Amino acid sequence: MKWVTRKRIHVNRTATAWLIKRFVDPEAEVLFVEPTEVAAVERRDAAIGFDAPGAKYPHKDGNGRCSFEQLAADQFPQDAALQRLARIVHCADFPDEPSTEPEAAGLWAISQGFTEVGRDDPDIVARAAFLYDSLYAHLRRAEEGRR
């Protein structure tokens, strides 16, 4: 399956690419293109767009959700840890909104350096996978402690 988003990724696009590769389709091909090219690639390649104007999963939908939240809600509504991670990603992606998640400030700060340490967008996704895997594991453990 092909997915497409805007180049020069930070919080939401990195997290959404991780979610796709980790949970939706480990063999997915994620394309990173100029913002103005996303819709055309979506049509031409039958790709699923995210975090871009006109994409299936836009940067912010009518309910105010980022693309990570939209995809997590559509595909994994029963996964409480993933839903919490979605709220963290939202708060980090929209730092000017009031935050309900203490982890969001750290995620925002870390993500601001992604383009400085990664060679390109696929490299950033690969490097950031450890961060998102670790945060998800922490949230799963916390959720299991509540049961």
pLDDT at 145: 81
Domain that holds residue 29: 2-146
96, burial (CB in 10 Å: exposed 0-12, middle 13-18, buried 19+): exposed
pLDDT higher than threshold 90 for residue 14: yes
Give the SS3 label for residue 101: coil
Distance CA 36, CA 39 (A): 7
Q: How far is CA 21 from the centre of its chain?
A: 10
pLDDT at 147: 62
Mean pLDDT of the chain: 95
| The total number of structural domains that make up the chain | 1
Mean pLDDT along residues 15-35: 97
pLDDT higher than threshold 80 for residue 97: yes
123 token code pair: 């490299």
52, burial (CB in 10 Å: exposed 0-12, middle 13-18, buried 19+): buried
The tens digit of pLDDT for each residue in 49-86 reads: 999 988 999 999 999 999 999 999 999 999 999 999 99
The tens digit of pLDDT for each residue in 118-133 reads: 999 999 999 999 999 9
pTM of the predicted model, to two decimals? Answer: 0.95
DSSP strand E in 61-108: where? Answer: none
pLDDT at 146: 75
